[in-house]
Amino acid sequence: MNDQPDVSHRNADVVVDLREYRQSRDPAPVTFHRRELDAILRIYGRMVGEGEWRDYAIDHLKDKAVFSIFKRSGEMPLFRIEKNPKLANKQGAFSVVNVNGMVLKRGHELPQVLKVFDKVLKLIDT
């Protein structure tokens, strides 16, 4: 008896690219690029300064990256800024989702999507 595995059924002429094999087995998670994160953190910093937001979390998942914004750390996120590359050719990879799961804005360009956080000035009669 031989302790070696039986490899007679394998095709020895097949060459596999190691990078493709690794990507197919365990794909890298989706992440925010530096410029995307800078744009998000610029708005986050402004809203923290105004006392609206207090905490955040970043999740890099297999299919999307999520920046969650909290009023208090123990609660559900007020907003989620999501990057889903599978939707890039359709509605756009970026979206802002509120606490109820409703998509507030979606698009191909992150700065355009983040404009949902720009406040509209209103005239108030005193």
For the chain, what are the domain ranges? 34-117
| Residue 44, pLDDT above cutoff 70 | yes
Q: How far is CA 41 from CA 16, 82, 126, in A?
A: 41, 14, 35
The residue to which tokens 């509605």 are assigned: 91
Beta bridge partners of 68: 57, 80
pTM of the model: 0.73
Which tens digits make up the pLDDT trace of 67-90? 999 987 677 899 999 999 998 889
CA gap 91, 106 in Å, rounded: 7
Residue 111's pLDDT is what? 94
Return the HEC string of 54-91: CEEEEEECCCCEEEEEECCCCCCCCEEEEECHHHCCCC
Q: How far is residue 79 from each of residues 44, 53, 108, 114, measured CA to CA in Å?
A: 11, 10, 18, 11
- What residue type is 108 in one-letter code? H
Cα separation, 109 vs 5, whole angstroms = 53
User: What was the pLDDT predicted at 17?
Assistant: 77
